[in-house]
Amino acid sequence: MVEEAPVKPAFEIKAENKPVCPECGSERLYKDGIRYLTDGSTVQRLLCRNCGFRFSWPRGKGQHRGQILKTKRDNNNVCQVCVAGSNPASKNLASKAVLALAEANGKTTSGLAGATTPNQTSQMDVKGKILEFLWHLKKLGRKETTVKGYGKILTALAKQTDILNPNAVLEYLAKASLNDTTKHDYTKTLNCFYRYLDIKWQVPSYKPLQKIPFVPTEQEIDILIANTSKTVSTLLQLLKETGMRVGEALALKWTDIDFERKTVRITAEKGSLPRILPLSEKCLTMLNRLPRKSEKIFPSKTSLDSRFYVQRKRIAHKLCNPRLLRIGFHTLRHWKGTMEYHKTKDIIHVQRLLGHKNIQNTLVYITIENALFTEANDEFHVRTAKTVEEACKLVEVGFEYVTEIDGVKIFRKRK
């Protein structure tokens, strides 16, 4: 029986004989499988992290730096990427692993053997720069929602054009069938991205469209509250009564609810003002029905969004009312602002209720209230008051002062 010659172990890289890439001279290398020679010995295959060139080590006899497998072109086209080179699945797996390692080290591979085309390499380079930019925003303290929004816009643009080329981006925006509001948002995001990369460009001028927000009827809101799940209906009731942003509501903790005084303490977001607002007995009862599994009252926005959209679509289809599909969480903030101005005619009160720092953001509710109520209904409820106490009670329920006759104050409210 003929004894088989023992297989020599793979070459281990030693510090005193450290290999370098014969193509670019880089010492940043990956181990890329084992090469079996005809005499039964083995040599280590290496892959350059800098230029993507593959070669064997230790160097062959009479060779200057290393035993080169093939030319760079042949290496990219036909060379195997792992020991089990006859297995295409293994080849793809190894290629993906190398790409992942390169990306993790903040590098992108160029001309990687059997792995990427120049276009794929360019896409990886763009993706890497986007990730670096998003991490930069995170380090600057930007909120998670803001970082995700920037990432979503940049990723969408990267699929349509070369975002590292400002001229290509300007051409795409000029031809794209997008409204000016969307183009304005894209331009704002790109401006921050280019400033981070120190890329000069001529900022296009797209002005966002000014739209009057949709305001549903109270009956339509109550229909959604009555027919959605326990958690969603509680959130809708809370937003209806307070007009807070959905982000402010999702950040609420159980300790922010004062069940004894019937109030909620709101931690403001987006530069708004913090505030304490009253809650009805109905809202407090609905809150008490929710399970207290964590310190926060509501789950994540992603979870609530998916539930709400499915339930809203079902209710709108069942009642044949497509207007319900236009009601979102933020819609209830617009409804509250409009109704509060209609009751009080006090725009400063509405500003404080909604937490606006700039009153210009609040003035839109005057326009909405005038459109919805002034021309639609000219019939009024009329009440009188002889004392200050009676007058205060009428004002609290939405009556407005008209005049005074013989010491009797006259108030009215639209039906």
Q: Whole domain around residue 367: which residue ranges? A: 218-372
Q: pLDDT grade, residue 6 (50/70/90)? A: low
Regarding whether 138 and 88 lie in a shared domain, the answer is no
Percent of the chain with pLDDT over 70: 78
Q: Please state, in angstroms and rounded to a whole number, the distance separating the CA atoms of residues 362 and 126.
A: 40
Pair 157, 244 in one domain = no
Q: Are residues 69 and 157 in the same domain?
A: no
Q: How remote is the C-alpha of 383 from its chain's centroid?
A: 51
Of the listed ranges 14-23, 139-148, 164-173, the least confidently predicted one is 14-23
- Pairwise pLDDT comparison (36 vs 280), residue with the higher score: 280
| Residue range 17-44: mean pLDDT, rounded | 78
Query: Is the confidence at residue 58, as pLDDT, over 50?
Result: yes
- 221 contacts 209 by C-beta, under 8 angstroms: no
Q: pLDDT band at residue 25, thresholds of 50, 70 and 90?
A: confident
Residues 390 and 366 placed together within one structural domain of the fold: no
pLDDT, position 59: 58
Is 403 a residue whose pLDDT tops 80? yes
* Domains held by the chain: number: 4
**pLDDT value of residue 349:** 93
Inside any domain, residue 299: yes
CA dihedral 15, 19, 24, 25 (to 10 degrees): 40
> Is 84 domain-assigned?
yes
Indicate whether 367 and 231 sit together in one domain: yes
Quick one: 241 and 362 in the same domain? yes
Confidence grade of residue 212 (pLDDT, cut at 50, 70, 90): confident
> Contact 271/244 with Cβ under 8 angstroms?
no
- For residues 100 and 131, membership in a common domain is answered with no
Residues 334 and 222 in one domain: yes
12 pLDDT exceeds 60?
no
If pLDDT is split at 50, 70 and 90, which confidence band does 170 have?
very high
Ranked by mean pLDDT, the top range of 64-68, 102-106, 197-201 is 197-201
Residue at 113 is within a domain = no
Q: Alpha-carbon distance 268 to 263, whole Å?
A: 15
* Domain contains 126: yes
Predicted local confidence at residue 86, as pLDDT? 39
Residue 304 lies in a domain: yes
The residue from 144, 164, 197 where one domain ends is 197
pLDDT digit string, tens, across residues 218-276: 999 999 999 999 999 999 999 999 999 999 999 999 999 999 999 999 998 877 889 99
Is residue 281 one of the residues assigned to a domain? Answer: yes
Q: Could you tell me which of 216, 212, 168, 213 has the C-alpha nearest to residue 190?
A: 168
In a domain, 9, yes or no: no
Q: Which residue has the tokens 């992290």?
A: 49
Q: Is residue 210 part of a domain?
A: no
296-323 mean pLDDT: 93
| CATH for 300 | 1.10.443.10
Kindly state whether residues 37 and 177 are assigned to the same domain: no
Whether 116 shows a pLDDT value over 70: the answer reads no
Share of the chain above pLDDT 90, in %: 44
pLDDT digits (tens, 9 = 90+) for 345-372: 899 999 999 999 989 989 999 989 988 8
Q: Residues 224, 294: one domain?
A: yes
pLDDT band at 104 (very low <50, low <70, confident <90, very high): very low
Q: Is the pTM of this model over 0.75?
A: no
Say if residue 50 is in the same domain as residue 189.
no
166 and 309 in a single domain? The answer is no
